[in-house]
């Protein structure tokens, strides 16, 4: 379970048509750009702001940091971890997990 001090957020960076998207699954945040690195940077900044805001309100709603991801993104995450090929329209740049603590140190 994610808290303002610890936990992990899964992320995926993918291209659909001409746009790169970076998705933070547990927070249901999506950022986009013309470049995958910029989309990922924007996502990490948004995630950091989300956690900072959560801390300011003193964690009034713990489920805020533990949302159920959109089915489309959860399915994509599962395919990426299964080793099965991801079919069009997606082009994957990267995916992984980010430690909440490391977000706050950046």
Can you give the residue ranges of every domain in the chain? 8-105
pLDDT for position 99: 93
pLDDT for position 59: 62
Could you report the per-residue pLDDT of 47-106, keeping only the tens digit for each?
Answer: 999 998 888 887 667 788 899 999 999 999 999 989 888 877 889 999 999 999 888 776
Could you report the per-residue pLDDT of 4-40, keeping only the tens digit for each?
Answer: 888 999 999 999 999 999 999 999 999 999 999 999 9
pLDDT for position 30: 98
In DSSP notation, 39-55 reads HHHHHHHHHHHHHHHHH
End-to-end C-alpha distance for the chain, whole angstroms: 22
pLDDT for position 93: 95
Token pair in block for residue 21 = 């998207």
Please report which helix (H) or strand (E) contains residue 74, including its range.
Answer: helix 71-82
The pTM (predicted TM-score) of the whole model is 0.90
Q: What is the CATH number of domain 8-105?
A: 3.30.160
């Amino acid at each position: 379970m994610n808290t303002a001090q610890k936990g992990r957020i899964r992320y995926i960076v993918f291209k659909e048509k001409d746009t790169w998207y970076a998705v933070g699954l547990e927070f249901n945040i999506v950022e986009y750009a013309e470049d995958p690195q910029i989309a990922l940077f924007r996502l990490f900044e948004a995630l950091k702001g989300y956690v900072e805001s959560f801390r300011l309100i003193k964690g009034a709603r713990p489920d805020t940091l533990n949302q159920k991801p959109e089915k489309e993104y959860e399915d994509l995450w599962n395919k990426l971890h299964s080793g099965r090929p991801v079919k069009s329209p997606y082009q994957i740049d990267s995916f992984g997990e980010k430690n909440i603590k490391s977000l706050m140190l950046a």
